[in-house]
């Protein structure tokens, strides 16, 4: 029996009573006024010259940061849009308020630039100062970024010029969106045809659809060749001006990660691609295929998918959390009691699922629950994010409630595993196979495929930085080589598969791919620790409570984990291997 209050819709009245609530304009003007007043008070003033001046300016900045980073009016309309994307008046509000927020925010650029140009002896003094202790980590990051910050005028030029990178990507996207694939008697827009390959149960249908998709991709490959080269070249120019040593340096800097850890992770995963090979061999066997191509890898398995209503997933995820830790179930219940979870699909509502947390506003979760066990896992995943952001909020000063992109997926993947262990023993053998295949497939994507794509992206960048231009055919060849290493013998990767680089957006997101693998493998290692000894749970929570108060490596070190050692990632990889082994055993009987 579930006696807890459950609300299955967002209650946006907690933000504003309606789109025309007079408080929206009042809040917006308060933000604009605060930014203008701050600029007037500190721009061109010698506040960096004394500890006292620094303390006053930084304290004033914290108050401002709460208002600007919370951005309640804009957040409200973004959530309204997520519930109904077709409401044109909401889109107009977002555009208008967004522009006003950018203008207000631009008034503050001088502050970062001024701080970043602090003379080194003063930097050293402030980093040791007791009075400025609260701001130490913020200052460390600003001083470090100062090494890569240009003058205000140059920064403005780069920021204006940077807008055109997005236009290239949009151009290819738009050209792609216009393509229509002929499939049997149907005309399928290419962006529906690509995910459709993973839904077709007949091999012949998948082959036919891929053939149509490939035919359409071919028509825009010249454009894509220019786009990718322009995109990478533009980044090369910025990196040279900003004196970043490697193509990945800027991204890792913003994630507060170091190259040794990330490339240690990459090498660890590259050395265990045999785990992926074994998984895809199993999938091929289950699909009873003579030849398995890339477009077969996501093909559905017909049986064993457990049905679950929302009431059932709510109850079972809640039970898993309750058995795990009081904080987990407390945060879970609070979200459902307070109208912070929007559960069901609706016309106009955005697809997929997400968790969103902004400063001083409640964390919210959007789901599109359909009646199956996958939706229950999505609920566990998004709740994991909410536990992370809630614990950080409760423990940290407003400056440090966020967390690095590198650690963003740790808590969510961890929560999925907690739910997996809870639900698995209750399932039939057929359901267990289906669930294990789903979970392992996600690990293949998040870990082995993410690192394979990371390898591809790294080779693209390295070649463009070295030679200035890489022909499309060569990019395809790189794609094919790396995918062969990832899939192994079970999957036939052909040269035409390289055309996928046209629509895989990851290659335009600047080195963030490793963070999927990092999050998944850290989550599995933490889970192994908890399984070995539940006394580790407070350390797990300490990681979440730390928010962004330290670099991720330092946070992990404080709970006894050294992510800079490549050996560390073997713990997670061994756990994934054990999952694949369990599947091999289940399927051999």
Using CB under 5 A, list all residues that contact Zn ion.
412
How far apart are alpha carbons 156 and 158 in whole angstroms?
Answer: 5
* Cβ proximity of 559 and 525 under 8 Å: no
For the CB of residue 465, give the shortest distance to Zn ion in the complex, in Å. Answer: 31
For the CB of residue 17, give the shortest distance to Zn ion in the complex, in Å. Answer: 31
Structure tokens at 486: 């990832």
Closest to Zn ion by CB, 412 vs 548, is 412
Distances, alpha carbon 251 to alpha carbons 43, 259, 506, in Å:
29, 10, 14
For the CB of residue 383, give the shortest distance to Zn ion in the complex, in Å. Answer: 11
For the CB of residue 392, give the shortest distance to Zn ion in the complex, in Å. Answer: 15
Residue with tokens 């200035």: 468
Region of 293 (left: φ > 0; alpha: ψ -120 to 50; beta: rest) is beta
Closest to Zn ion by CB, 446 vs 483, is 446
Residue with nearest beta carbon to Zn ion: 412
For the CB of residue 107, give the shortest distance to Zn ion in the complex, in Å. Answer: 33
Closest to Zn ion by CB, 304 vs 572, is 572
Closest to Zn ion by CB, 412 vs 520, is 412
Closest to Zn ion by CB, 175 vs 353, is 353
DSSP one-letter code for 448:
I
DSSP 164-221: HHHHHHHHHHHHHHT-EEEETTEEEEHHHHHHHTTT---HHHHHHHHHHHHHHHHTTH
Closest to Zn ion by CB, 356 vs 412, is 412
Closest to Zn ion by CB, 487 vs 512, is 512
Closest to Zn ion by CB, 389 vs 549, is 389
Taking the CA atoms of 90, 94, 95 and 99 in sequence, report the sign of the dihedral they define.
Answer: positive
Helix (H) or strand (E) holding 430: helix 429-443
Q: Which of 567, 224, 541 is nearest to 394 (CA)?
A: 541
Helix (H) or strand (E) holding 491: strand 491-492
For the CB of residue 467, give the shortest distance to Zn ion in the complex, in Å. Answer: 37
Structure tokens at 116: 């970043």
Closest to Zn ion by CB, 227 vs 443, is 443
For the CB of residue 412, give the shortest distance to Zn ion in the complex, in Å. Answer: 4
For the CB of residue 522, give the shortest distance to Zn ion in the complex, in Å. Answer: 14
Q: Which of 470, 468, 578 is nearest to 527 (CA)?
A: 578
Distances, alpha carbon 170 to alpha carbons 46, 71, 163, in Å:
43, 27, 11
For the CB of residue 97, give the shortest distance to Zn ion in the complex, in Å. Answer: 27
* Cβ proximity of 522 and 410 under 8 Å: yes
How far apart are alpha carbons 334 and 74 in whole angstroms?
Answer: 24
* Cβ proximity of 83 and 348 under 8 Å: yes
Closest to Zn ion by CB, 261 vs 412, is 412
Closest to Zn ion by CB, 412 vs 549, is 412
Paired strand residues for 183: 186
* Cβ proximity of 248 and 262 under 8 Å: yes
For the CB of residue 355, give the shortest distance to Zn ion in the complex, in Å. Answer: 7
* Cβ proximity of 336 and 351 under 8 Å: no
CB atoms within 10 A of CB 469: 13
For the CB of residue 69, give the shortest distance to Zn ion in the complex, in Å. Answer: 21
């Amino acid at each position: 029996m579930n006696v807890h209050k459950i609300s299955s819709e967002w209650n946006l009245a907690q933000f504003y009573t309606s789109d025309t609530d007079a408080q929206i304009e009042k809040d917006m003007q308060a933000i604009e006024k605060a930014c203008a007043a701050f600029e007037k008070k500190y721009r061109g003033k010698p506040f960096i010259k004394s500890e006292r001046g620094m303390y006053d300016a930084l304290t004033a900045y914290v108050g401002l940061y709460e208002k600007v980073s919370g951005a309640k009016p804009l957040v409200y309309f973004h959530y309204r849009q997520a519930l109904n994307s077709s409401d044109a008046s909401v889109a107009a509000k977002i555009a208008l308020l967004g522009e006003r927020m950018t203008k207000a925010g631009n008034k503050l650029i001088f502050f970062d630039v001024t701080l970043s140009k602090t003379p080194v002896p003063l930097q050293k003094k402030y980093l040791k100062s007791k009075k400025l202790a609260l701001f130490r980590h913020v200052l460390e990051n600003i001083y470090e970024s100062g090494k890569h910050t240009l003058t205000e005028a140059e920064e403005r030029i780069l920021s204006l010029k940077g807008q055109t990178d997005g236009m290239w990507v949009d151009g290819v996207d738009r050209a792609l969106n216009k393509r229509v694939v002929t499939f049997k008697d149907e005309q399928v827009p290419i962006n529906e045809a690509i995910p459709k390959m993973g839904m077709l149960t007949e091999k012949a249908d998948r082959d036919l659809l891929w053939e149509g998709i490939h035919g359409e991709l071919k028509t825009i490959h010249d454009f894509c060749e220019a786009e990718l080269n322009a995109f990478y070249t533009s980044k090369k120019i910025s990196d040279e001006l900003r004196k970043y040593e490697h193509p990945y340096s800027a991204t890792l800097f913003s994630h507060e990660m170091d190259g040794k850890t990330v490339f240690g992770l990459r090498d660890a995963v590259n050395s265990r691609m045999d785990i992926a090979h074994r998984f895809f061999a199993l999938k091929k066997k289950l699909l009873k295929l003579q030849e398995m191509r890339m477009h077969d890898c996501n093909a559905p398995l017909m049986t064993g998918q457990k049905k679950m209503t929302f009431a059932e997933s709510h109850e079972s995820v809640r039970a898993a959390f309750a058995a795990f830790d009081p904080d987990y179930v407390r945060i879970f219940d609070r979200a459902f009691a307070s109208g912070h979870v929007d559960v069901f699909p609706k016309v106009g509502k955005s697809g997929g699922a997400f968790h969103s947390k902004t400063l001083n506003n409640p964390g919210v979760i959007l789901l599109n629950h359909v009646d199956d066990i996958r939706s229950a896992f999505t609920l566990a995943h998004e709740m994991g994010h909410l536990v992370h952001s809630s614990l950080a909020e409760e423990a940290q000063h407003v400056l440090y409630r966020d967390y690095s992109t590198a650690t963003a997926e740790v808590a969510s993947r961890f929560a999925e595993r907690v739910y997996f262990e809870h639900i698995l023993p209750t399932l039939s053998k057929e359901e267990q196979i289906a669930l294990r295949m789903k979970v392992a497939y996600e690990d293949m994507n998040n870990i082995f495929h993410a690192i394979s794509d990371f390898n591809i992206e790294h080779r693209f960048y390295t070649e463009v930085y070295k030679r200035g231009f890489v022909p499309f055919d060569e990019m395809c060849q790189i794609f094919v080589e790396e995918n062969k290493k990832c899939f192994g013998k079970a999957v036939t990767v052909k040269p035409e598969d390289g055309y996928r680089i046209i629509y895989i957006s990851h290659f335009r997101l600047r080195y963030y791919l490793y963070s999927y693998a990092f999050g998944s493998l850290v989550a599995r290692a933490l889970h192994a620790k908890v399984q070995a000894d539940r006394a580790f749970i407070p350390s797990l929570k300490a990681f979440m409570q730390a928010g962004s108060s330290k670099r991720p490596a330092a946070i992990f070190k404080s709970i006894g984990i050294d992510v800079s050692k490549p050996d560390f990632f073997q713990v997670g990889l061994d756990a994934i291997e054990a999952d694949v082994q369990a599947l091999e055993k289940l399927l051999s009987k």
